């Protein structure tokens, strides 16, 4: 357990060599300035510990330090002493630490005491009593294209929400680079210079660990790894869709069938592991009588996990435009979620029974929102997406929701970002940023 108590070193003294700045740093700093503890949650390998070290002045690493783990199990309060903010990494391995941290927060009554990280969310009965301004959560996702240095970020999502103009030069990156990016994912610990087949192999091993070991950590329930992997493949085939539980169950391997109720239980466990993150429907008001479809769309926390589950390759994806389009949409959703979080906005989907839809709605919660359609590229696809967005906007009751700040088509094509005469903006993903 490293303790830097009594020094005047800045909070960043634990920052690892090679750390790359994360967009979530701003939210983390703001939370530590107001809440007594910050809980960073996200999938294994997304960079939670490294982000926490950016702000921590002492640490206890429960997964790496067997002695600290044993002490925390025996006497949880003993591992809480140290310079603050104190990092407690993978806290969920010792559930009594939650109550111990809450008690210490109350006793100290000061902001920025602890940073907890967790790659698995325990059951609600353990964490529901956090208390106002005690422990605030921050979701950390895998690195966006901006964080990986692949996007110019010339078009700001924050400015789009302010109805700002949309103009950017060509990025020099197009569909082949988008395929490479979604196959590699945004995992800071993976060597991005490695051959893409080696990265996919590493992510396949990641999913194997999820199926065999990690999924038990959520609730202690032992699940058949064969069935878990079958469901992961079914989810990958249906990424960016609202496939029903029955459809997911029917597509699992016949040698390991899952019932509808088992699929729901498995999905809950995968959500708690931050392997999947469904895209929920936008809670809006409509002018028309066509009811909203409210089933969430299936998304992995990183599209590379879907690629690994399918055992796909860049060549296979380029030969299958339909599958590639759905996976590219998943990549866009991941980046939109990262950028939206920076301006306290949320990302949803929109579909009504008459067929009007938007692949994503970015809602700032104060009457500002933008609608997004995702296309690989090409003039015909962009024209179709623009018409879809204009139809969707006419369905929304803007007297209650506020007018759309922007209608945006996000593409994989290497083109310019610009505003069309009809008001729809066209933005290459490699030009989008926070």
Long-range contacts of 63-70 (CB under 8 A, 24+ apart): 63/89, 63/90, 63/93, 64/89, 65/1, 68/1, 69/93, 69/94
What string of H, E and C letters represents the secondary structure of 394-430?
HHECHHHHCCCCEEEEEECCCCCEEECCCCEEEEEHH
State yes or no: cis peptide before 305, omega within 30 of 0. no
* Closest CA relative to residue 56, chosen from 34, 75, 38, 35: 38
What does DSSP assign to residue 210? I
The torsion angles phi and psi of 374, rounded to 5 degrees, stand at -115, 125
The residue written with tokens 């032992």 in the block is 222
DSSP 126-190: HHS---TTTEEEEE--SPPTTTTT-----EEHHHHHTT----B---S--HHHHHHHHHH-S-TTS
Beta strands 37-41 and 114-118: pairing type? parallel
Encode burial over 254-272: b for 16+ CB neighbours within 10 A, e otherwise.
eeeebeeebbeebbebbeb
Three-state secondary-structure class, residue 354? coil
Question: pLDDT (tens digit, 0 to 9) for every residue of the chain, 434 residues total?
Answer: 444 433 334 445 688 888 999 999 999 999 999 999 999 999 999 999 999 999 999 999 999 999 999 999 999 999 999 999 999 999 999 999 999 999 999 999 999 999 999 998 876 555 555 555 589 999 999 999 999 999 999 999 999 999 998 999 999 999 999 999 999 999 999 988 899 999 999 999 999 999 998 888 777 788 889 999 999 999 999 999 999 999 999 998 766 678 899 999 999 999 999 999 999 999 998 888 788 889 999 999 999 999 999 999 999 999 999 999 999 999 999 999 999 999 999 999 999 988 889 999 999 999 999 999 999 998 999 999 999 999 999 999 999 999 999 999 999 999 999 999 999 999 999 999 99
Cβ proximity of 207 and 185 under 8 Å:
no
- In order of 210, 286, 293, 348, 392, the CA distances from 402 in angstroms are 42, 12, 21, 16, 14
Return the structure tokens found at 23: 């967009």
Cβ proximity of 218 and 124 under 8 Å:
no
* Closest CA relative to residue 222, chosen from 230, 233, 232, 211: 211
C-alpha angle 348/349/353, rounded to 5°? Answer: 145
Q: Work out the burial of residue 104: count CB atoms within 10 Å of its CB; fewer than 13 is exposed, 13-18 middle, 19 or more buried.
A: buried
Beta bridge partners of 432: 155
Read off the pTM. 0.93
């Amino acid at each position: 357990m490293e303790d830097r108590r009594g020094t005047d070193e800045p909070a960043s003294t634990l920052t690892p060599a090679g750390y790359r700045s994360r967009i979530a740093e701003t939210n983390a700093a703001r939370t530590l300035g107001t809440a007594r503890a910050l809980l960073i949650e996200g999938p294994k390998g997304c960079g939670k510990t490294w982000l926490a070290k950016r702000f921590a002045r002492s640490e206890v690493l429960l997964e790496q330090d067997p002695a600290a783990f044993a002490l925390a199990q025996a006497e949880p309060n003993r591992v809480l002493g140290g310079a603050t903010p104190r990092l407690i990494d993978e806290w969920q391995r010792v559930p009594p630490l939650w109550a111990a941290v809450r008690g210490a927060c109350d006793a100290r009554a000061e902001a920025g005491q602890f940073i907890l990280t967790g790659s698995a969310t325990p059951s609600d009965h353990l964490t529901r009593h956090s208390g106002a301004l005690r422990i605030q959560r921050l979701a950390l996702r895998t690195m966006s294209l901006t964080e990986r240095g692949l996007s110019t970020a010339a078009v700001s999502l924050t400015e789009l929400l302010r109805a700002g103009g949309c103009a950017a030069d060509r990025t020099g990156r197009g569909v082949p680079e988008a395929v490479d990016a979604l196959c590699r994912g945004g995992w800071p610990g993976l060597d991005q210079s490695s051959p893409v087949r080696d990265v996919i192999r590493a992510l396949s091993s990641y999913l194997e660990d999820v199926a065999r070991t990690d999924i038990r950590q959520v609730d202690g329930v032992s699940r058949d790894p064969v069935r878990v992997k079958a469901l992961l493949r079914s989810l990958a085939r249906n990424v960016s869709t609202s496939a029903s539980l029955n459809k997911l169950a029917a597509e699992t391997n016949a040698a390991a069938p899952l019932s509808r109720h088992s699929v729901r239980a498995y999905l809950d466990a995968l959500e708690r592991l931050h392997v999947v993150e469904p895209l929920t429907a936008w809670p809006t008001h409509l002018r028309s009588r066509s009811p909203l479809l409210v089933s969430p769309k299936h998304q992995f926390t990183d599209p590379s996990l879907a690629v690994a589950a399918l055992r796909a390759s860049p060549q296979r994806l380029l030969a299958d435009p339909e599958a590639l389009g759905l996976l590219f949409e998943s990549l866009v959703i991941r980046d939109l979620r990262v950028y939206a979080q920076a301006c306290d906005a949320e990302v949803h989907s929109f579909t009504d029974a008459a067929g009007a839809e938007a692949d994503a709605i970015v809602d700032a919660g104060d009457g500002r929102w933008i609608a997004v359609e995702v296309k690989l590229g090409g003039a015909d696809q962009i024209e179709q997406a623009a018409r879809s967005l204009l139809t969707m906007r006419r369905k929304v009751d803007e007297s209650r929701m506020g007018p759309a700040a922007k209608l945006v088509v996000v593409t994989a094509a290497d083109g310019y970002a610009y505003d069309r005469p009809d008001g729809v903006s066209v933005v290459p993903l490699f030009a989008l940023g926070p």
